[in-house]
Amino acid sequence: MNIALDGPSGAGKSTVAKALAKRLGIIYVDTGALYRTIGLYVRNKGIDKEDEKSVIDCLSEINLNMEFINGEQIITLNGVNVGDTIRTGEIAMYASRVSAIPEVRAFLLETQRKIARENSVVMDGRDIGTVILPNAEVKIFMTASAEARAMRRYKELVAKGEDCTFESVLADINLRDKNDSTRKTAPAIPAEDAVFLDNSDLDIEGTVERAIEIINEKVK
Ligand code: DC
């Protein structure tokens, strides 16, 4: 079974996808981590994230591997586990820019499809239902208001000890939404056959329950 879970940044996709994977006994695939890994490489090489040509040129130097150990996704970049180094606001911005480049998306396409061919997955991303897995049995487009998403992300960052303000997190979310939804290649928009799940007023459990209902309706 393939479940595509798309939606904007900070809608809680990863939390919900993890819970769904556990409940259903399938693998959780975080595709944003792949774009973040490319962003990390670009940043570490000192390449300007707006410099498309240099980003495209450096792809040939990248050997990226994604595997699952005890259900946990491990990404290696030229043989080194990237771990949490991709989980910063700075790398999120690099990821947002590089993910708008068609060559970057093409570079990561087969890695994503192969995992879904070989396993039952719940795959979280932006274009899973539209581009990566157009035949997924279940497609959910999960969203929440920009303010609700910014508040959740802000609390997460504060808990991690990052120095930020709610306003700066909201501005980042708005900027990333704009980049992600207006880019020419694979914009973050719902597939025609996706079911909307707006969780502005739902907690995690409520969102997971609603997602399970959607899945049960689709696969019965
Ligand atoms: O989900 P995330 O915040 O880890 O994603 C990081 C960036 O990567 C985000 O700005 C959008 C982009 N992305 C994408 O374009 N397509 C995906 N399938 C997943 C993420």
pLDDT in single tens digits along all 220 residues of the chain: 999 999 988 899 999 999 999 999 999 999 999 999 999 999 999 999 999 999 999 999 999 999 999 889 999 999 999 999 999 989 999 999 999 999 999 999 999 999 999 999 999 999 999 999 999 999 999 999 999 999 998 998 899 898 899 999 999 999 888 888 888 887 888 999 999 999 999 999 999 999 999 999 998 7
Residues with CB under 6 A from ligand 1: 9, 31-32, 35-36, 92, 95-96, 99, 125-127, 176, 180
Supply the residue whose CA is at minimum distance from atom 13 of ligand 1.
Answer: 32
Distance CA 110, CA 203 (A): 34
pTM for the model stands at 0.90
Angle (deg, nearest 10), helices 102-118 and 32-44: 140
28, 35, 173: residue to mutate for ligand 1 pocket, most atoms within 8 A of CB: 35
Got the DSSP string for 118-152? HS-EEEEESSIIIII-TT-SEEEEEE--HHHHHHH
Residue 105 structure tokens: 């998306």
The pLDDT of residue 187: 81
CA 220 to ligand 1 center in whole angstroms: 31
The pLDDT of residue 184: 83
Give the atom of ligand 1 at the shortest distance from the alpha carbon of 96: 10
Supply the residue whose CA is at minimum distance from atom 9 of ligand 1.
Answer: 96
Domains of the chain are: 2-218 (3.40.50.300)
By the 8 A CB rule, do 7 and 13 touch?
Answer: yes
Distance CA 35, CA 134 (A): 20
The pLDDT of residue 11: 92
The pLDDT of residue 106: 97
- For 75, the enclosing helix (H) or strand (E) is strand 72-77
Q: Contacts from 148-157 at CB under 8 Å and sequence distance 24+?
A: 148/199, 148/200, 149/8, 149/9, 149/10, 149/11, 149/12, 149/173, 150/10, 152/10, 152/12, 153/9, 153/10, 157/89
Distance CA 76, CA 100 (A): 22
The pLDDT of residue 150: 94
Quick one: how many helices (H) and strands (E) in the chain?
8, 8
CA 74 to ligand 1 center in whole angstroms: 17
The pLDDT of residue 220: 77
Give the atom of ligand 1 at the shortest distance from the alpha carbon of 6: 18
